[in-house]
Amino acid sequence: MTVRVLRAADRTAVPWKNGGGVTREIAASPEGAPLDAFHWRISLADVGADGPFSAFPDVDRTLTVVEGAGMDLTVGGKRMLADERYRPYDFPGDAETDGRLLAGPVVNFNVMRRRSRTACLTSVVRGGLLVLVPSGSTVVIVALDGTTVLEEARVTLGQYDAAVLDASPGSLHTEGHAAVLTLSEPRTENPDRRCRGFAVR
């Protein structure tokens, strides 16, 4: 088993694709891929003003509010109210999307995957969990608040630290919330399968 730990303190904030805010990349595949060539990308975004989202063709997105009151989104002409912390919200990245802050700045945890290359499942958990890594998949764990401990691997993650796994690490325990992302090749019988996210309380 390989556990690659990515510390929040080592990240650099860079401007959004559309220049409307800043993002801090947590992990991506291929590593270092530009925004038009990644298979999947996980990041944190600081949003301080209302405005449009960047468009990403062939990309599905999952947004999770981790700081602040949330956002009122319009996605492809339909309203999506993202006003619950630690709840993943799924939407297509190639739909015209505009966001309005509900009550001041927010920090969003973002997962993007190119639907023709990667399938993903985003779970937000708290408490204890047995983490399984399916064959041929990669699992990324991000501590969203408090600490997260991978007990058998003897790894402790502080807020926004991440671990990238290629095999099952055993049990996980959180003092707050952690995102657990399972990324794999899409099934050939349904290559347009959407990215799915859910919260476990």
Query: Which tens digit of pLDDT belongs to each residue from 172-201?
Result: 999 999 999 999 987 544 444 445 565 554
| Integer Cα distance of 31 and 66 in angstroms | 24
pLDDT in tens, 135-167: 889 999 999 999 999 998 899 999 999 999 988
Strand partners for 82: 71
Report the predicted TM-score, pTM, of the whole model to 2 decimal places. 0.89
8 Å CB contact between 98 and 64:
no
| pLDDT for residue 87 | 97
Domain parsing of the chain, residue ranges: 10-114, 119-199
Q: Quick one: which of 62, 69, 28, 76 has its CA closest to 47?
A: 69
DSSP annotation of 56 reads -
Model confidence pLDDT, tens digit, residues 16-64:
777 777 899 999 999 988 888 999 999 999 999 999 998 999 999 999 9
Q: What does CATH list as the number for 119-199?
A: 2.60.120.10
Per-residue pLDDT, 35: 84
Domains 10-114 and 119-199 share a fold: yes
**How far is C-alpha 197 from the geometric centre of its chain's CA atoms?**
9
Determine the number of helices (DSSP H) and then strands (DSSP E) in the chain. 0, 20
**Would you say domain 10-114 falls under CATH 2.60.120.10?**
yes
* Pairwise CA distance, residues 178 & 80, whole Å: 23
- Is the Cβ–Cβ distance between 88 and 124 less than 8 Å? yes
